[in-house]
Homo-oligomer: A and B are copies of this chain.
Amino acid sequence: MSEVGNEPHSKAAMASKAVGISARVRTSPFFEATQRWGCKGYTTYNHMYLPLYYEGLEADFWRLVEHVTLWDVAVERQVEITGPDAARFTQMLTPRNLSTCAVGQCKYAPITDENGGLISDPVLLRLGENHFWLSLADSDVLLWAKGLAAGTGMNVNVGEPDVSPLQVQGPKSTDVMRDLFGPWIDELKYFWFRETDLDGIPLVVSRTGWSSERGYEIFLRDGARGDELWETVMAAGRPYEIGPGAPNQIRRIEGGLISYGADATLSENPFELGLDRLVDLDQEADFIGKAALKRIKAAGVDRRLVGVEIAGARLAVSNERFWPLVGHDPARFKITSAVYSPRLEKNIAMALVPVDLTAEGTRLHF
């Protein structure tokens, strides 16, 4: 991480606003449960309400890194791709080479547009030779994939199934999951999944998550049984001090996980985001964005997403706007995500900075 001099950015007055709840924004199958368990704030994500915190951002953080937490992430909508051309079509969506992706395996698979810009960075699950789910960040990849299918005329079905994920994250998550599902949990490898059920509730269980801690996702396949599933997991977790949680800004910025919409948009490409290892330009398949990404790689990028520390007073809230790098194009060079980490006892952030200013110890002025 580089060090950063900062202006006083603690505009705490804007930290939250009353936001109307309306039928236009969907609730998840776990919404009632999140209310009952004391969720204190929501944001919206994929046209749904996403819990933000329960006890508080810091209290939730400590429970996540010391014990185990249960998250309603039904907002991770799935795009399901089936049909005779599904494998070929899905490969067309991503620069990642899927030829080694087995049935039962997950892959972090960026989706790019014709300019190489990021449309989303989902986790892909291969449920069959020609059966895929894309577990989405906040953009309508369903419309992108449907448009592409309609335009190419390929023989695929693209839709949104009745699937709503939970995440069980934290060092004690394996204990909870073993008690729920049995000893096969210990054999479940990182980024693999299994189709299973719990008291007849149809599920997919994967060893994935968005916490940078050990963790799992439970994909509920019957929206009518959300409350039952939530309480079953909570009951199994009681001996391990489980509590309700949510995608945690502190832990994910510590871990350098990208939040789509903040750290990455259509205007950023995988090379700028440090996702180089996921882009296979030598594969035979002609994915969308391949020609553009070849040009971008040959020319080199002029900015990179990096971790930075912010000097000065402790940030009261995370950044509510982008903070531009002084003396540079504010649309391209900026702090994208920032928060105070009580564990590191530092303000930490992610920032798009000029490639020649990415060396350890560089001072930057935002």
Contact = CB atoms under 8 A, between A and B. Distances in A.
Smallest CB-CB A-B distances: 10 pairs: A151-B151, A147-B147, A140-B140, A19-B19, A143-B144, A147-B148, A24-B261, A151-B152, A24-B262, A44-B44
Interface in A219-235: none
7 contacts: A17-B42, A19-B42, A19-B44, A23-B336, A27-B321, A140-B143, A147-B151
B144 A23 contact: no
Interface in A222-262: 259-262
Interface string A114-143: 100001000000000000000000111101
B147 A23 contact: no
Please state the number of chain copies in the assembly: 2
B40 A18 contact: yes
A19 B47 contact: no
A247 to B, nearest CB: 11
Interface of A: 14-25, 27, 40-44, 47, 49, 52, 113-114, 119, 138-141, 143-153, 259-262, 288, 318-322, 336-337
B21 A114 contact: no
A339 B336 CA distance: 39
B261 A320 contact: no
B138 A147 contact: no
Contact of A150 (B22, B148, B322): B148
Contact of A41 (B20, B147, B321): B20
B27 A20 contact: no
A23 B322 CA distance: 6
Contact of A43 (B20, B145, B148, B260): B20
Nearest to A117: B146
